[in-house]
A = this chain, B = another copy of it.
C-alpha cells in the first residue's frame, strides 16, 4: 500500500484512479476522508496545525497497513496524511482500501483509521478565539482500537 505524509492537499479521484487504472479484479473501493471541522465541542476552530514525527510517521503508517493487508484480502490501497496548518473544511487524511469483497474493504479502512488515531505520531493543535491548545487524545479512540485486538 502507498503511504504518504505531506503538507500539500490530495485528490481522492486521482488516488483512486492511480490504484485502479487498468484493473478489472477489484469489486469494492472504500475511501475515508477526514476533514477539519469548524467546531470541537463548544470551541469554534479558526485553524488547526498538525505536527508530526518525520520518518516515524511513515513507518507507523506502513506497519498499520501491513497488519491490515495480513488480516484482510486486500488488493491495494493508500494512506495519505497531511501536516502543517489547515483551515476548517480542509482535508487531513485519506485512506483507500481495495478488495474483491465489500466487507474486507470496509473493515480494513475502519481498522486503519482506528489504529492510525492512536499509533501514528501526529498531534493536533487548535487555534480558537481564546488562544491555541493541543487536542487531548480520546479514551474512545483507544477503545475503538482495542476492539480490533479480539
Contact = CB atoms under 8 A, between A and B. Distances in A.
Contacts of A35: 20, 26-29
Give this chain's copy count.
2
A45 to B, nearest CB: 9
A54 interface: no
B13 A38 contact: no
Contacts of A89: 20, 22-24, 26
Interface residues of A, number: 34
Contacts of A34: 27-28, 102
A32 interface: yes
A12 interface: yes
Interface in A63-103: 88-89, 100, 102-103
Contacts of A23: 89
A26 B35 CA distance: 7
A16 interface: yes
- Closest CB pairs A-B (n = 10): A13-B13, A24-B88, A24-B38, A24-B89, A29-B33, A31-B31, A27-B37, A106-B110, A26-B35, A30-B32
